[in-house]
Amino acid sequence: MEKKVSTLMGRYELGKLLGQGTFAKVYHAKNLRSGQSVAVKVIDKEKVLRVGLIDQIKREISVMRLVRHPNVVQLYEVMASKAKIYFAMEYVKGGELFNKVAKGRLKEEVARKYFQQLIAAVDFCHSRGVYHRDLKPENLLLDENGNLKVSDFGLSALFESKRKDGLLHTTCGTPAYVAPEVISKRGYDGEKADIWSCGVVLFVLLAGYLPFHNSNLMEMYRKISKGEFKCPQWFPLEVRKLLSRILDPNPYTRITLSNLMENSWFKKGFKPIESPIFPDEDVASTPRSLLDVNAALESDLVGPSQKIGDDQTTSSMRPTCLNAFDIISLSPGFDLSGLFESNKCSRPEARFTTMKPPSDIVSKLEEIAKIKSFKVKKQNGVVKLQGNKEGRKGQLGINAEIFEVAPSFHMVEVTKATGDTLEYKEFCDQGLKPSLKDIVWAWQGCDQQQEET
């Protein structure tokens, strides 16, 4: 009986399923024109739209267009149908580096080769204004020749993501590999955070286990915040010294990539790639180039009554889910911000918890805005209140971001976005807190004291 062949857009012959997640499946495929093996990632549009991940997918594509390097998994083409988004990517058949480490520690020469390739890729990414933010052995693949390929740029950030303070502020990554300043919630340098993660990877390759592992997350983060780790006796002295400079909990004194690449241990046998960028014609020759990504993703994404970016859509006000980093960083006993800045309350903010759903929280905030003649804008789980009067430092702007701790328990973080701090406090004390008393369970924050009962 003849086997039925599944083809995609008349370009690729789909093969076996390689893996799947919540929103996507990855298949082995063959380019019908060239015969080249590729991996095709199939993403469900409806699912990613429902949870507000379209912008993240766009960012991942933009990033992968920028970082065309031999040690980075390549994105060849983006396609879309009414219901699906398709990534045609480089097929890396050697599996995850994690699988090698799971069998035990690697020899020094082998670990150094992988570390050199990792640093070369990361250095190139940083030169293009891209910060990975989730470097770990599970996201490092090996090709048939044993060369390392950095993958999974879903949590990456572009240079443009930095705020006015020049720092990134999204808390993300994998707990055991994340830099201490990332969970401080006061901003961090994406380059320095990636360097820390690379140091953890190097330790794991040489030791076969994590430097800061602990079943108790709080204890693990305490060790990370202080840089408390112990090298095994088989680590060469050069490696011990290098790791002490990479896993420095102070990002300002942590080694830079340029200095790391001049380290004598690192340089042994290292051969820099002279021309890491692939020729532009490789991209231009694809049937549908990556330049039309917005058209591919946004076509038929939503019905006529719903449009991406519309502040009134349900998806735009979906609350942000708190992860382990966020919850731990909110614990009074584990505030790392003091390690990196002297004035802990430099940004006026307050938090309250509530058992009410996001719709009730938003309605209350809209009522307050109407009474105070503030304009309201709602987007990505944030309610932005903008005053129309000129104060001492311009118009007062307040952001209220809604976080989901559990399905029936939410936290709202209120911050001053623009304007005068005294005017912000007056607004909170005389307008915000009295009006929210029916839905607030408890207040917390450096600029607002606990509500008296």
Q: How far apart are CA 361 and CA 366, in angstroms?
A: 9
| DSSP one-letter code for 84 | E
The helix or strand, by DSSP H or E, that contains position 43, with its residue range, turns out to be: strand 37-44
Query: DSSP of 158-189, one letter per residue?
Result: EGGG--TTS-B----S-GGG--GGGGGSS-B-
Place of tokens 């790791």: 243
CB atoms within 10 A of CB 95: 11
Q: Is 41 annotated as a binding residue?
A: yes
Q: How far apart are CA 197 and CA 206, in angstroms?
A: 15
Return contacts of 87-90, CB within 8 angstroms, 24+ apart: 87/40, 87/41, 87/43, 87/61, 88/11, 88/12, 88/29, 88/31, 88/38, 88/39, 88/40, 89/38, 89/39, 89/40, 89/41, 90/38, 90/39, 90/149
Q: What are phi and psi of 431, to 5 degrees?
A: -120, -50
Place of tokens 């990554």: 173
Residue 103, both tokens: 């069998």
For residues 56, 60, 66, 67, the Cα torsion angle rounded to the nearest 10 degrees is 140
Q: How far apart are CA 155 and CA 178, in angstroms?
A: 13
Listed residue (173, 184, 95, 183) closest to 141, CA to CA: 95
Place of tokens 């076509």: 299
Residue 399 in contact with residue 381, Cβ under 8 Å?
Answer: no
Active site residues: 134
Listed residue (222, 221, 258, 265) closest to 242, CA to CA: 265
Q: How far apart are CA 220 and CA 243, in angstroms?
A: 18
Q: Look at strands 320-321 and 394-406 and give their pairing.
A: parallel
Listed residue (279, 285, 277) closest to 36, CA to CA: 285
Residue 256 in contact with residue 220, Cβ under 8 Å?
Answer: no
Q: How far apart are CA 145 and CA 117, in angstroms?
A: 13
Residues annotated in a binding site for ATP: 41
**Residue set of the binding site:** 41
